[in-house]
Amino acid sequence: MSRLTLQQANAIVEVAFKKARETKVKPLAVAVIDEAGHVKSLQREDEASMLRNDVALGKALAAVGMGVASRTLLDRAKGNPQFFGALSSIRFIPQTGAVVIRDKDGTVIGAAGASGGTGDEDEAVCIAGIEATGLSWG
């Protein structure tokens, strides 16, 4: 299994911010974590509101913890609110805006999450960053 490097994580954040500026997304935060949920890179743009780091990280933790995009978790949460509500105490945010990062073999090696735009915008900037590194997402 390959590992997510600091260089890759920082590149994901850099490209995500670039994509956000190109598409006029509000100022945001982007979190990139490894497969164990450890932060590799977490940055907040100037003018992004104070909770953006926490939300971006919570989305990424939810994605890597369950091995699927946070969009999928949002759909699952609608059918099982008690279970997903209990997870909120551990920084688990099942809202659209994070995707898992996969290596060339399809193994989950981390996740990227963003907060500041709409869920779709947050997800799109994460995907742009991941794709720019040559990794895949899910």
Q: What is the pTM for the complete model shown?
A: 0.95
Which CATH class for the 6-137 domain? alpha beta
d(CA 47, CA 7) in angstroms, rounded, equals: 25
Residue 1 has pLDDT above 80, yes or no: no
Flag whether pLDDT at 5 surpasses 90. yes
Backbone phi and psi for residue 7, each to the nearest 5 degrees, phi listed first: -60, -45
Residue ranges of the alpha helices (H) in the chain?
6-22, 52-66, 70-79, 81-87, 119-132
CA distance 3 to 53: 23
> With 90 as the cut, is the pLDDT of residue 90 above it?
no
pLDDT of residue 84: 85
What is the three-class DSSP state of 49?
coil
Q: Mean pLDDT for the chain? A: 95
Residue 78: C-alpha distances to residues 40, 57, 58, 129, 135 (Å):
30, 21, 18, 29, 30
Report domain extents, the chain. Answer: 6-137
**Residue 89: pLDDT above 80?**
no
Secondary structure (3-state) at 93: coil
Share of the chain above pLDDT 90, in %: 84
Query: What is the arithmetic mean of pLDDT over 97-122?
Result: 97
The whole-number pLDDT of residue 110 equals: 98
Looking at residue 30, its pLDDT comes to 98
Half-sphere exposure at residue 34, Cβ-oriented, CA atoms within 13 angstroms: 12
> Is the pLDDT confidence value at 87 over 90?
no
**The pLDDT value given to residue 46:** 97
Is residue 67 within 8 Å of 108, Cβ to Cβ?
A: yes
